[in-house]
Each structure stands twice: as structure tokens, then as C-alpha cells.
Amino acid sequence: MDSRSRLLTILGSFGAVLLIVLIVILCTQNSGTGNAGLQDQSQMQTPAVAAQNPGEGHLIGDDPYGFMSDPTFFDEEHSDAFYQAMDQSGNLSLMITSVEKDLRILVLDNNGELVTGVSFNIKLVDSSDVVTRYRDLDKDGVIYAGTLASGDYDVTLEPVEGYRVPLHSTRVTVKDKVEYIPIADISVLIKTEEEINAALEDTALREDAVLDADRTEIVTLQAGGSDHKPGIDVSSWQGDIDWDKVRESGIEFVIVRAGYRGSVTGAIVKDKYFDANVSGAQSAGLQVGVYFVTQAINEAEAVEEASAVMEMCSPYKLELPIYLDVEGSGGGRGDQIDTETRTSVCEAFCRTLENAGQQGGVYACRNWLTNNIDASRLDRFNVWLAEYRSAPLYNGYYSMWQYTSKGHIDGINGNVDFDIMYY
């Protein structure tokens, strides 16, 4: 073979080798691409499948649950707020308080409101594993368990159709003795007059004071002096009041009704004119105190009443005391208790206020202070006497005197009570 033929043979062999190498490289690349495509396709799933198999596919980084934070994963029509609302709707919780050998259990919805219209069942288990059940028969969302032994209890809200109850029981301690401490979140127990039958519940009477009145009753406004000042007390019964005219008439202070406990059901009710009267009187430059008409039948309810009044008064700064109005109600629940219990109610109300830094007091007529209350136990508190005579016959301590219920004054339509407060 000549030199030229040998050269052509060498070049041809070299070209064949290059061609084979090129073909191998191309085949390898195509094979890799195809395998990658198959792998991606095998891992691609619909969002629903990915949710069922969070460890497979639709990964974000190394987190197998990363799809949960992918804003494109969920249906755009359903935001996070939507799912959160769906999760929380129908959830129930319990608020439980103990004053003395009792439990008051409130069933609340997700907004902290009482759930009414449902007959809930509560199971109590004491430290000896004794089980007692209570039912919300009146469906008001409040279950009261009284006369309990002190100690720890597990409280369980039993399942009810249409709601999610707490998964676990709540451990609470039943107190042995009342502590006269304001109840937190008492606001859920305060009702408006639109929520109750006011004609049946607001039945406080002043029959004893009226029957005790004589022809010497003073019905005209008495001017202030060196040791006393004139005032009035009002409630929703007076309706709308022109407070500037009241002040111009010589009035220096007013005691405003905050509310009352219902004579029949025992509901705590806020006077519908309370806020208007307090803000109106203070804007007119009058000193303001408040009173609450009790129908409490024990100290625990007195603590509730004091707590409720302080909650109602929380937007305001009062210059004068908060009084518990103790009087007859024509056979209401508070009329049935004995003198010892009623006196304890008065003390519990005032001591709860005192422990919260508020001034407390008791309003009653002479007959009640003499016959239905042990007034000697109230000397440390303010006493507001109702006696419709020119000079009281009551010889006990009092710091304010309501001398008539037949007063008339500019700015108020109809009768109004006149009072004298002593310095």
C-alpha cells in the first residue's frame, strides 16, 4: 500500500471512531432526558392525591407537607379565613366559676356568647370518682350546681348534635368559703330588658315605706346646708331627663339605677336608661352614684350582683357609692329568705365592692332595716334610709335619707324621689 492509500485509511478509521463516539454521546443524552421525563410524570399528581399522600410528589424543598403553604394549591374561591371559619363554627367552650360550695357553668360559642335554646348536659366527677349530672332545663346556657362539697371536680360537656364539645374535661376547684372577689367575665350574665319579661321581673315595691308615711311627709325639694346636700334617684321609670334643667333646679347629686335581678327567674338585667342617665348627669356637672335592686337568695348571688354592677359602671368614674336596694317585690324570690341570709347578702355585696376598691352601701326602708335586716352589721358601710316623714323615727346609722317618692322637679316628667346626703 502506497503512502497515500495508507493516509486515507488512517483518516477513515479515525473518522469512524469519532462518529461512533458522537453516536454514543447522543444516545446517552437522549436516554437521560427520557428517563427524567418519565420520572417527573410519575410524580405529578392532582392536588387531592397530593393531599392524601403528602410524602409523595408536589414537594416544596425537602418538606413533604410543603403543599400546605403553596398559595396556588387550594381553590382560590376558598381562602384561609374560609377554612378557619369552617373549622371553628359550632365549637363550644365552658366558663366555670365557684363562689362558695357551688359551680356556675356557662356554655359559650366561638364568639364568647351564651348558647341558648339547647338543653346541654354536664357531667361532674369528684375526687372519689362519684359522677353527678346536671341538665340545662330552661335552655339559657347556664347550669348551676349548688350545695357541693369543696374540692376538685372534672367538668365535662356531654356531646350534643350540631356542636363540637371540648375533647377533654375541665378541672375546677369548688371553694369552701366565699371570698368576695369580683367574678371575671360576668358580662355574659347581664341581660337587657328586651331579653326578659320586665313586667314579671321588675317588681320592686316600696309598700313598707309608703305605708309608714304620715301627713308630715315632705314633698318639696329641701335646700342644701352646711352638713348636707340635695339629690334625687332615678331609673327607667323616669324616662328621658333634661339634666341641665335638673341641675338648675338645685340638685347636686343623683343615684342612678344600674339594674335589677329578676323577681322570678333571677336574671341580672341592666336598666335601659342607665348609660344615658349616668353620662347625662355627669355632663351636667352632678355627682353620681348608682344602685342595684337585689333579689339575691345567697351570698354567691350577691357577689354576682356586685360584679355585674361594677361591670356596668366600668366606663365611668363614680363620685358616690354603689348601693344594694333591698325591698319587697310582691312575693319575689328575694322576699323568701330569712333575716340572717338577707344580712349576709348585704355584707357580701358591699365587701365584694370594697375588695375592688369601690364604696358600697345598702338602701332599705325603716321597717326592713328594723325587722328584715340586722342593721348593726352594716355600720361599716353606707346606709341609705327610706322613711317618708318630716323627721325619721329610725334611730340607727344612716348617711343618706330618701324623704319622699312624690317629688316634682324641672327636667323630669312625673314623680321622682328626693334625697338628702349628709357630709
Q: How far apart are CA 294 and CA 336, in angstroms?
A: 13
- Give the mean pLDDT of 284-303: 97
- Give the mean pLDDT of 297-307: 95
Q: What one-character-per-residue DSSP string does 196-230 give?
A: S-HHHH-----HHHHHH--TT---SPPPP-SSEEE
pLDDT digits (tens, 9 = 90+) for 313-363: 999 999 999 999 999 999 999 999 999 999 999 999 999 999 999 999 999
Q: Which residue type sits at 193?
A: E
Q: How far apart are CA 287 and CA 318, in angstroms?
A: 8
- Give the mean pLDDT of 308-312: 98
The alpha carbon of 172 is separated from its chain's Cα centroid by a whole number of angstroms, namely: 19
User: Do 112 and 91 touch, CB atoms closer than 8 A?
Assistant: no
Q: How much is the pLDDT for 407?
A: 97
Which is higher by pLDDT, 284 or 43?
A: 284
Residue 184 pLDDT greater than 80, yes or no: yes
User: Do 342 and 372 touch, CB atoms closer than 8 A?
Assistant: yes
Q: How much is the pLDDT for 211?
A: 84
Residue 37 pLDDT greater than 50, yes or no: no
Q: How much is the pLDDT for 212?
A: 84
Burial 35-49 (b: 16+ CB within 10 A, else e): eeeeeeeeeeeeeee
- Provide the CATH number for the domain formed by 186-422 in this structure: 3.20.20.80
**Is 91-174 a domain of CATH 2.60.40.1930?**
yes
Q: Which residue type sits at 374?
A: D
With the C-alpha atoms ordered 397, 403, 409, 411, is the resulting torsion angle positive or negative?
positive
Q: How far apart are CA 363 and CA 378, in angstroms?
A: 11
β-pair type (400-407, 416-422): antiparallel
User: Lowest mean pLDDT: which of 195-199, 209-213, 371-375?
Assistant: 209-213
Residue 23 pLDDT greater than 70, yes or no: no
Spell out the residues 6+ positions from residue 272 whose beta carbon is closer than 8 angstroms to its own.
192, 193, 236
Burial 182-192 (b: 16+ CB within 10 A, else e): bbeebeebbbe
Q: How much is the pLDDT for 165?
A: 95
Q: How far apart are CA 130 and CA 304, in angstroms?
A: 29
pLDDT digits (tens, 9 = 90+) for 377-386: 999 999 999 9
Q: How far apart are CA 383 and CA 364, in angstroms?
A: 8
Nearest to 160 by CA among 178, 135, 138: 135
Q: How much is the pLDDT for 206?
A: 84
pLDDT digits (tens, 9 = 90+) for 363-412: 999 999 999 999 999 999 999 999 999 999 999 999 999 999 999 999 99
Q: How far apart are CA 153 and CA 350, in angstroms?
A: 30
Q: How far apart are CA 253 and CA 286, in angstroms?
A: 5
Q: How much is the pLDDT for 227?
A: 95
pLDDT digits (tens, 9 = 90+) for 235-276: 999 999 999 999 999 999 999 999 999 999 999 999 999 999
**CA torsion 395→387→218→389, rounded to 10°?**
-60
Q: What one-character-per-residue DSSP string does 329-389 give?
A: -SS-GGGGS-HHHHHHHHHHHHHHHHHTT--EEEEEEHHHHHHTS-GGGGTTSEEEEE--S
Q: Is 124 helix (H, G, I), strand (E, B) or coil?
A: strand
φ, ψ of residue 69 to 5 degrees: the values are -100, 5
∠ CA 224-227-233, rounded to 5° = 55
User: Lowest mean pLDDT: which of 38-52, 64-78, 191-205, 216-230?
Assistant: 38-52
Q: Is 30 helix (H, G, I), strand (E, B) or coil?
A: helix
Spell out the residues 6+ positions from residue 27 whose beta carbon is closer than 8 angstroms to its own.
none
Nearest to 103 by CA among 115, 94, 91, 92: 94
The alpha carbon of 80 is separated from its chain's Cα centroid by a whole number of angstroms, namely: 29
> Exposed, middle or buried: residue 232 (CB in 10 Å: 0-12, 13-18, 19+)?
buried
Nearest to 208 by CA among 385, 342, 422: 385
Nearest to 378 by CA among 353, 336, 347, 410: 347
Q: How much is the pLDDT for 19?
A: 65
pLDDT digits (tens, 9 = 90+) for 116-158: 999 999 999 999 999 999 999 999 999 999 899 999 999 999 9
Read off the C-alpha cell for 171. Answer: 378541672
Q: How much is the pLDDT for 11?
A: 58
Burial 52-73 (b: 16+ CB within 10 A, else e): eeeeebbeeeeeeeebeeeeee
